[in-house]
Amino acid sequence: MATLRFEALKKLDERVKVHVEIPTPNISQFFGENVFGIEQMRATLAPAVFKKVSNAIKNHEKIDEATADAVASAAKSWALAKGATHFTHWFQPLTGGTAEKHDSFFDALAGIERFKGSELVQQEPDASSFPSGGIRSTFEARGYTAWDPTSPMFLYGRTLSIPTVFVSYTGETLDAKSPLLKALKAVDTAATQVCQLFDKDIQHVVASLGSEQEYFVVDKSLYMARPDLVMAGRSVFGHSPARGQQLEDHYFGTIPSRVYDFMREFEIECWKLGIPVRTRHNEVAPSQFEVAPLFEEVNVANDHNQLMLDVMSRVGEKHSLKILFHEKPFAGVNGSGKHNNWSLITDTGVNLYAPSSSARDNLLFLTFFITTIKAVHEHADLLRASIATPGNDFRLGANEAPPAIVSVFIGAQMTAVLDELEKKGNVKIEKGDNMYMKLGIDQIPEIILDATDRNRTSPFAFTGNKFEFRAVGSSDNCATPMTVLNLIVADQLLLFYEEVSNMIDKGEEKRIAIVNVLRKYIKESKNIRFEGDGYSEEWVKEAEKRKLNNIKNMPRALDAYLTKKSVELFEKHAVLSHKEVEARNEIRLEGYIKRVQIEARVIGDLAMNHIVPTAINYQSKLINNANGLKGLGVDNKNVVQTIKEISEHIDTIKQNVRAMIEERKRINKMTDTHKRAIAYCDDVKEKYFEMIREAVDDLELLVDDEDWPLVKYREMLFLR
Ligand code: ADP
Ligand code: MG
């Protein structure tokens, strides 16, 4: 009997309800109580000091030492009063996730609690074990973390956590946050310049992000009894349950009570940390859920998402639940994404992607709308690369997630508007004409009011007042796609500005110049627009005709980072140097290889040590039975048939596992990282994973349930 599985299942009956207490139903009374941000600084710093800090934050400038000392001192007092004992620089290394190294405020030599401005501003963790893609060799392990004052400090447990960037001694960036901050600065500069063609009062443009986080929940004991979930974050075997998501009864259904309690508790913890979580619901697959916060400035929103993942994992533990952020933990049911809702908002409060009731403002809206589509058209492959993770390879194009082909959905109404603008652009506009009326631009607000159509199959969709980048994976750090998206839009906006300025210099009227460039962009970027079913076979063919790429796996997708065009783009806006781009790709490829290696080992071990022995044992029972039947003169044809089938599956498993091991040995000798990653993708993952899985999953249906060692899908996916 398969003891581990049945013991794990027995634990389910022992689960008791975890009591969750909300401090007060009035969330505003405790929202952000563990945050030391701009408001807390305003309250605790001298007005002159506060002004310096807030200006530095707004203008992306350095903070001087005296100011940093004042902030550190105020933060320390605030944290100590709340029971903190330690502080840490909190950063996002390229391994994924977040990292921290705690120091106590208590200085034993001086016998007092201390926190200096220099400690707030910079730390030097011995970070030799973080990947640097060859930039920083281990023997000179110096990397340092530097305070990011644009994201608030927070008290986590008893530790004051300070959001920081992580850079090497020689100044190269080693984290996810640094390039994001640079891309956000680039888009601020470019968008402000374009806005000033319309409104001189606009001084800054801020990018916003609202990320909808999908995740799976499984009982902790069941998780522990699945070595594949523990080691690889996804189940490598498991037959689909008789009932999956076909009844479509999970989506928006009643939340199971254990999960509901877990959600309530992690939301409370998030609110205390100033994370504005708002929406919760069941997702499409059984045991799949979603949480969405209110949107915030991209950098803060992303820090909050990273922190939220940690909060969810910790609170999950308390509820004996494991929270799975992998993009595809279970085959046969939907995978998980992290839809990035994104827009640009001016410091005068205008959402640049929201059409308005004034025709003049709609030209501003159309400028950003069309330029963004053009940017996606120009850099579609780079955008595809930005969402490449090992887990997302299982999801993109798997008939339920956005396809790996990048396209933009804008809805029937906006399509009509762009078609109109393109056509009517031929109309000659004279001085004194009402250009807006002639072009039909003043009709947009009416149209948009009922623009409710949604396309769940598009990787990049306009949703009325924002774009939704739906192809981002659930485990990913949004900083990576957000860096690329903001960068490509920044670049396109600058090009737009240059083209318009050139026309104006040649004597063209400003509005006409703007419309002319927009018309050109509409024509040039038409190919990237797709309104149909992104999951369909026809789209794959149509995209091929349009010469849009369909890059199905991570090692190949990453090539787009290294093209001359991409490298120039990163360098032009000082987001990443050529060396940094190369180093990052090296790290990603290494990460990919390791993940496939781990999965291959898990598959091999589970198949050979768990599945094959189980199948042989069961087969022996059948052989006894067949012999017994024969002795009695009873027909044993069916039993013999099953014995043969089991033998065939065992052979398939053994042969393929052996061959896969040989392939790995061969590939491991390859020195070129890129070639090795491609080989792991094609010659290990693609060639063997499914083949072995099919044989194992068939055996699951043949072998007596009592004997089966792995917790089954139906047991994991329907939480009790
Ligand atoms: P959906 O219908 O896609 O669920 P919601 O209005 O619920 O749309 O928004 C989903 C996410 O988009 C939320 O996180 C929300 O805060 C965010 N969002 C809304 N408006 C914007 C915006 N202008 N910029 C960025 N994110 C936004
Ligand atoms: Mg959405």
Answer whether 274's CB lies under 8 Å from 35's CB: yes
Find out whether the beta carbon of 293 lies less than 6 Å from any atom of ligand 1: yes
Instruction: Write out pLDDT tens, residues 480-490.
Output: 999 999 999 99
Whose Cα sits closest to atom 1 in ligand 1?
463
Find out whether the beta carbon of 343 lies less than 6 Å from any atom of ligand 1: yes
Mean pLDDT over all residues of the chain? 92
Share of the chain above pLDDT 90, in %: 76
Ligand 1 atom at minimum distance from 353 CA: 23
Sign of CA dihedral 126, 129, 132, 134: positive
Confidence bin at 139 (pLDDT 50/70/90): very low
Q: Which residues contact 35 (CB under 8 A, 6 or more apart)?
A: 152, 153, 154, 155, 273, 274
Q: Name which of 164-173, 261-270, 622-631, 661-670 the model is least confident about.
A: 164-173
Find out whether the beta carbon of 296 lies less than 6 Å from any atom of ligand 1: no
Instruction: Write out pLDDT tens, residues 630-669.
Output: 999 999 999 999 999 999 999 999 999 999 999 999 999 9
For the domain bounded by 31-173, which CATH number is listed?
Answer: 3.10.20.70
Answer whether 194's CB lies under 8 Å from 311's CB: no
Q: How far is the CA of 376 from the centre of ligand 2 (A)?
A: 19
Q: How far apart are CA 431 and CA 438, in angstroms?
A: 12
Closest ligand to C-alpha of residue 485 is 1
Rounded to a whole number of angstroms, the distance between the first and last alpha carbons of the chain is: 23
Q: How far apart are CA 477 and CA 471, in angstroms?
A: 13
Closest ligand to C-alpha of residue 342 is 1
The domains of the chain are located at 31-173, 184-574, 587-718
Whose Cα sits closest to atom 14 in ligand 1?
210
Q: How far apart are CA 521 and CA 512, in angstroms?
A: 14
> CA of 241: how far to CAs of 238, 250, 286, 718, in Å?
9, 15, 11, 10
Whose Cα sits closest to atom 25 in ligand 1?
342
* pLDDT value for 78: 96
User: How are beta strands 408-409 and 460-462 bridged, if at all?
Assistant: parallel
Q: How far apart are CA 251 and CA 256, in angstroms?
A: 12
The single residue listed with the structure tokens 């505003």 is 28
Report the CATH fold assignment for 184-574: Creatine Kinase; Chain A, domain 2 (3.30.590)
For the domain bounded by 587-718, which CATH number is listed?
Answer: 1.20.120.1560
DSSP structural state of residue 442: G
Greater confidence (443 vs 270) lies with: 270
Instruction: Write out pLDDT tens, residues 309-349.
Output: 999 999 999 999 999 999 999 998 889 999 999 999 999 99
Q: What is the pTM of this model?
A: 0.96
Mean pLDDT of 419-437: 79
The structure tokens listed for 650 are: 């065992």
Find out whether the beta carbon of 294 lies less than 6 Å from any atom of ligand 1: yes
pLDDT for 457 beyond 90: no
